[in-house]
């Protein structure tokens, strides 16, 4: 494995008992896996490196209104059936294009009693079903059981409010505990191979105390990023014989009461309709609030909302995004560019969309594991090269060669950059099974590598794809993703990069949440991405 030290061993001290009760099976939004009751580790040892000053206090962004204990009474938790919302003012015969619609939401428990604290994760949308229109609403938590909802009126015609309870505040309290205290909710598998082909399989993780081996671990350090990885020492083979990596187990980290708070019947549920459909009148014969006239370029401040859908087309509210509706328009934009995509499978969808949409973009068989890459497609007449590869561990995946797991920092360090180089980073989904400190440390190294790339060649375009909605479990809830996106925005806020707000693009229409969104959403993301390469 290039640029990594193998074969280093670390000793851990203190007695540490691992208990393995009866094996259970659960269904989650990725591959079904054995669920084990995890060990309760001591706090991990601090790495020798320190975070840059600009990242050292990012965790203050993760503040969430505190939730009182429910005393074990499920009926005292917020209910999607009894919570209500209504207009803040008297209804109007019609509303003004470009104005706002405001509402008040009252959270109630299953008895119908108003809640006295905030912390619920609601999602509000203003939808235009006949126009294939939608925009996310802003939700202000007053931390007393009530919430202020605000919706911009961006298209003329009928519009309808929809509110969903993603998680009750009591369920969020469970997620907060797990994210803060658990240190991990999954483990991974390492495959070691000897000279004769004999293999030994062990547990690996981000912390040596999570590998199941108290006395000895194999320690791997990426020389470019400083990222650490640990595997239990195999019985007979040396540490430098690690050749394969895959997902391991999903741990059982919730009590029966906590599982009830996160059950399907109280998660991601639509509240009873509280506001009748409204009518938005045209303004000066305009039927749509137009995108700003400024071309899309890195460093543009991100408005809220970042955009909206109308007739199934995403309209940016930060810049004049373009629609690349033909093969020729996509080829013309990408001509002469090398695009490096690094991240998770939701970013691989961009590569797949371009491959499937442009017939002359030909995939090159690199004989790699498709799920992790590297993948490449080329268009030789226009000089287009598209790369995608998964970020390194922690990576939930099928078995893949360890040598293929390059860190993002390592890849960025190998790029000269320039006006023909485009870098896209899509991070987040695989970090929701660890406390936020793990993601912050990873961001610190990637941010430094991006800053170095832009310093040596400022004409390089760097795009950050935010994580999208989709997960609804303790291993990858939308609540985790919301926090991850806050960290992503803050980490790169002062660098000249572009953002594609996949969170809002996947939460604006009345479509089922999917971690791998459908073609309409992916097309919108790619069109907006191309608008930064070809702003005019």
Going residue by residue through the chain (536 aa), what tens digit of pLDDT does each one get?
444 444 444 433 332 233 323 322 223 333 333 344 444 433 333 333 344 455 566 556 788 888 876 678 999 999 999 999 999 999 999 999 999 999 999 999 999 999 999 999 999 999 999 999 999 999 999 999 999 999 999 999 999 999 999 999 999 999 999 988 888 999 999 999 999 999 999 999 998 888 876 678 999 998 888 889 999 999 999 999 999 999 999 999 999 999 999 999 999 999 999 999 999 999 888 899 988 889 999 999 889 999 999 999 999 999 999 999 999 999 999 999 999 999 999 999 999 999 999 999 999 999 999 999 999 999 999 999 999 999 999 999 999 999 999 999 999 999 999 999 999 999 999 999 998 889 988 999 999 999 999 999 999 999 999 999 999 999 999 999 999 999 999 899 889 999 999 999 999 999 989 999 999 999 999 999 999 999 98
Q: Are strands 242-250 and 269-270 parallel, antiparallel or unpaired?
A: unpaired
What pLDDT, on the 0 to 100 scale, is given for residue 21? 31
Query: Which CATH class for the 74-174+258-281 domain?
Result: mainly beta
Number of neighbours of residue 304 by Cβ within 10 angstroms: 10
Distances (CA, A) of 267 to 79, 136, 286, 433: 9, 19, 39, 19
The beta strand positions in 168-298, using DSSP E, are 186-193, 199-205, 217-222, 228-232, 242-250, 269-270, 278-281
Structure-token match 């193998």, residue found: 6
Quote the strand ranges of 356-399, DSSP E.
362-364, 375-379, 384-390
- What pLDDT score was predicted for residue 4? 43
Residue 28, pLDDT score: 30
Question: What is the location of CATH 3.40.50.1110 in the chain?
Answer: 307-533
Give the number of C-alpha atoms closer than 13 A to the C-alpha of residue 328, restricted to the C-beta side: 0
Q: How are beta strands 384-390 and 338-343 bridged, if at all?
A: parallel
- CATH homologous superfamily for 307-533? SGNH hydrolase (3.40.50.1110)
- With b for 16 or more beta-carbon neighbours within 10 A and e for fewer, the 240-250 pattern comes to ebbebbbbbbb
Q: Under a CB-based contact definition with an 8 Å cutoff, are residues 185 and 433 in contact?
A: yes
CA atoms of 74 and 265, how far apart (whole Å): 12
**CA 194 to centroid of chain Cα atoms:** 37
Three-state secondary-structure class, residue 46: coil
**pTM: predicted TM-score of the whole model, two decimal places:** 0.88
**Domain limits, CATH 2.60.40.10, in the chain:** 74-174+258-281
Structure tokens at 261: 């708070």
Q: What is the pLDDT of residue 25?
A: 27
């Amino acid at each position: 494995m290039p640029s990594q030290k193998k074969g280093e061993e670390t000793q851990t001290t203190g007695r540490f008992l691992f208990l393995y009760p009866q094996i259970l099976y659960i269904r989650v939004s990725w591959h079904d896996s054995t669920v084990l009751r995890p060990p309760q580790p001591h706090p991990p040892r601090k790495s020798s490196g320190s975070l840059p000053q600009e990242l050292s206090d990012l965790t203050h962004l993760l503040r969430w209104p505190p939730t009182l204990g429910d005393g074990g009474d499920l009926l005292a938790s917020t209910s999607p059936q009894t919570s209500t919302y209504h207009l803040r003012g008297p209804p109007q015969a019609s509303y003004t294009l470009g104005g706002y619609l405001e509402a008040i939401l009252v959270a109630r428990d299953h008895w119908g009693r108003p809640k006295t604290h905030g912390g619920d994760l609601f999602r509000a949308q203003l939808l235009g079903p006949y126009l294939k229109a939608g925009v996310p609403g802003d939700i202000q938590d007053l931390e007393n059981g009530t919430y202020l909802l605000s919706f911009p009126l961006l298209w003329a015609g009928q519009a309808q409010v929809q509110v969903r309870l993603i998680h009750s505040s009591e369920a969020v309290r469970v997620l907060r505990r797990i994210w803060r205290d658990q240190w991990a909710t999954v483990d991974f598998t390492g495959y070691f191979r000897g000279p004769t082909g004999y293999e030994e399989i062990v547990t690996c993780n981000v912390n040596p105390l999570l590998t199941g081996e108290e006395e000895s671990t194999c320690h791997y350090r990426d020389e470019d990023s400083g990222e650490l990885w640990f595997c239990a020492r195999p019985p007979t083979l040396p540490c430098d014989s690690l050749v394969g990596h895959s997902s391991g187990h999903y741990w059982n980290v919730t009590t029966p009461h906590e599982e009830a708070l996160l059950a399907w019947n109280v998660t991601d549920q639509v509240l009873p309709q509280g506001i009748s459909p409204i009518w938005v009148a045209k303004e000066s014969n305009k039927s749509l609030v137009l995108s700003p006239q400024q071309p899309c370029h890195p460093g543009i401040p991100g408005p809220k909302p970042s955009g909206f859908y109308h007739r199934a087309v995403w309209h940016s509210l930060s810049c004049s995004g373009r629609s690349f509706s033909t093969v020729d328009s996509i080829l013309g934009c990408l001509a002469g560019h090398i695009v490096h995509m690094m991240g998770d499978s939701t970013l691989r969808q961009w590569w797949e969309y371009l491959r499937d949409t442009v017939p002359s973009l030909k995939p090159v068989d690199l004989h790699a594991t498709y799920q992790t890459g590297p993948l490449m497609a080329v268009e030789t007449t226009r000089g287009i090269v598209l790369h995608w590869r998964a970020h390194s561990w922690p990576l939930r995946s099928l078995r893949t060669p360890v040598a293929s797991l390059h860190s993002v920092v390592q890849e960025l360090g190998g790029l000269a950059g320039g006006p023909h180089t485009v870098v896209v980073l899509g991070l987040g989904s695989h970090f929701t099974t660890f406390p936020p400190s793990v993601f912050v440390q990873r961001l610190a190294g990637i941010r430094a590598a991006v800053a170095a790339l832009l310093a040596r060649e400022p004409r390089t375009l760097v795009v950050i794809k935010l994580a999208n909605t989709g997960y609804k479990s303790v291993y990858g809830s939308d609540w985790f993703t919301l926090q991850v996106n806050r960290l992503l925005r803050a980490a790169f806020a002062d660098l000249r990069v572009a953002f594609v707000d996949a969170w809002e693009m996947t939460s604006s229409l009345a479509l089922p949440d999917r971690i791998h969104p459908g073609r309409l959403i992916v097309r919108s993301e790619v069109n907006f991405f191309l608008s930064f390469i070809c702003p005019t």
